Chains A and B, each alone.
Chain A
Amino acid sequence: MSNRAHKVLSSILLVSCTCLLIGWGNSWESIRTAAGKVTSIRADFTQEKHMPILQKPLVSKGVLYYQLPDSLRWEYTAPIRSILLQHKSVSRRFVKSQDGMIEETGRQLEMMQFMLREIPLWLGGRFNENPLFSAERLDERRIEMRPREAAMTRIIERVEVKLSPTPGVIESVTVHESRGVFTRFLFTNVRLNEPLAESLFLASDR
């Protein structure tokens, strides 16, 4: 897969998980302040793929764990089991094949390196400092991000983050690719600042 595709995929995950750190606020400063109070996240997610060709969306489900400063577990449980792990600057990805869980290698690893570079920006609530996306607050509950590079707009038009009424929790992240084609991540059972076992971020736990 190309570097650009990796960047896009990484961005989808980054937007989806790190936005869970967004605190309630109507300025970039308040968002950064709220983000600074969060040390860990655990949430279920539902991923809906919408396309005009589909009568109903394709639905995937999973769970994510995030522990500051840089530990991530983004796990799909259905319909295809897949685990993305990041811990102590090491990133790995596993996917279920007919031979069991296999590790994806090669170009897939580039995506992980990209995430390592980008996550601190998102965790810090510094959306408007991201080199790939420009950010705008549409209202008190919605943030819209658009790619800075024209070439990337061919892959992603914009990303919309919808905040939950509950401070520190978001409702959804929607990644718009083109007209009528978008992926929506809905987050439920979000729990902040609970201790997470280190084993969650290790390849032995898969």
Chain B
Amino acid sequence: MIHQTARPSPRCDRAPVFRICFILLLAALAVSCAGLPQLSPVGESSNRDQNSNCRDVFPEGGWRFVHAIETVIAGRPAGVVVGVTVISPGEPAVEAIILSIEGLVMFHARASGDTIDIQRAIAQFDTPEFASRLIEAVSLLFLVPAAVETTSGLSPDENFTCRYIRDDASVVDVMPGPDGGWKIMEYDQRAKLRRRVKADPHRDCPSPQGARLPCRLELLDTVQIPAYTLNMSLIEAERITE
């Protein structure tokens, strides 16, 4: 039997070097913890059904939505505006308008492909960063992610997940819930959470033509510092039939 006595690494037996080793160890742990949630495989037939459920998260066809949007920053409500969103999945294109409660248009932009056409933006809403972030968020909410690769499986907490990997290596996980609610997680290229969307189960909402639309959406955005949450309550929904 061979016995081996544990000895400290000769490279770590001095205090400064030990500290570096410790930091490297912590960094390695942090990297491993920040990875995307692992997806474990599910049966093929179940996979097919659940993938269909993932697509049901996103409204089919053209829609016009009106939401009351409450902004919460650091746990404190910061104000309420009205949001009008027009979705044209065929192009695909989105149009986003922010109105004050008094009806003043504070922001209006239309995005198609990589182009954002800002039609109106008054101060505080007039930076290109705001426009691009808003369009990103709206697209995340209402459009099936444009992906170069898709996969699916069970997340560590046993939720079926459709994973969309974009061409820039960012990732969108879509998790339909059993009760009509759902969750969307968006990660950047380093697997850091950018946005999270949660939809309440469908209840009594204005949903014309039998569509099932979430009454409430909660969007957590960590891209901007400080992070903020948008609580969106559906006021009107109208299918576009042009």
Give A residues with C-beta under 8 Å from B.
1-5, 8-9, 12-13, 47, 49, 51, 53-55, 58, 60, 76, 79-80, 82, 95-99, 102, 104, 106, 108, 154-155, 175, 177-178, 181, 183
Chain B, interface residues (CB within 8 Å), range: 20 to 34
Residue on B with the closest CB to A58?
A: B66
**B103 at the binding interface (Cβ < 8 Å):** yes
Q: Which of B94-102, B140-148, B164-172 contacts A (4 or more CB under 8 A)?
A: B94-102
**Taking A1-B124, A80-B80 as contacts, is the C-beta distance between A47 and B103 under 8 angstroms?**
yes
**B235 at the binding interface (Cβ < 8 Å):** yes
> For the complex, what is the distance from the CA of A8 to the CA of B135, rounded to whole Å?
26
Minimum Cβ distance to chain A for residue B208 (Å): 12
Task: Decide: B86 and A49 in contact? CB cutoff 8 A.
Answer: no
> For the complex, what is the distance from the CA of A154 to the CA of B108, rounded to whole Å?
13
> For the complex, what is the distance from the CA of A177 to the CA of B77, rounded to whole Å?
28
> For the complex, what is the distance from the CA of A60 to the CA of B104, rounded to whole Å?
13
Task: Decide: A155 and B122 in contact? CB cutoff 8 A.
Answer: yes
Task: Decide: A9 and B100 in contact? CB cutoff 8 A.
Answer: yes
Minimum Cβ distance to chain A for residue B87 (Å): 12
> For the complex, what is the distance from the CA of A53 to the CA of B109, rounded to whole Å?
12
> For the complex, what is the distance from the CA of A15 to the CA of B174, rounded to whole Å?
47
Task: Decide: B102 and A5 in contact? CB cutoff 8 A.
Answer: no
**B190 at the binding interface (Cβ < 8 Å):** no
Minimum Cβ distance to chain B for residue A86 (Å): 15
Task: Decide: A97 and B80 in contact? CB cutoff 8 A.
Answer: yes
**B106 at the binding interface (Cβ < 8 Å):** yes
Task: Decide: B80 and A82 in contact? CB cutoff 8 A.
Answer: yes
**B111 at the binding interface (Cβ < 8 Å):** no
Binary per-residue interface labels of chain B (65-103) against chain A in the complex, 1 for a CB within 8 Å, 0 otherwise: 010101000000111101010100000000101011111
Give every chain B residue within 8 A of A12 (Cβ-Cβ): 102-104
Residue on B with the closest CB to A95?
A: B80
> For the complex, what is the distance from the CA of A201 to the CA of B133, rounded to whole Å?
39
Other than A1-B124, A80-B235, A177-B120, give 10 A-B pairs with Cβ distance below 8 A. Answer: A1-B100, A2-B123, A5-B123, A8-B122, A12-B102, A49-B103, A53-B64, A95-B101, A97-B77, A183-B103
**8 tightest A-B contacts by CB?**
A2-B123, A183-B103, A49-B103, A95-B80, A102-B77, A97-B77, A79-B235, A80-B68
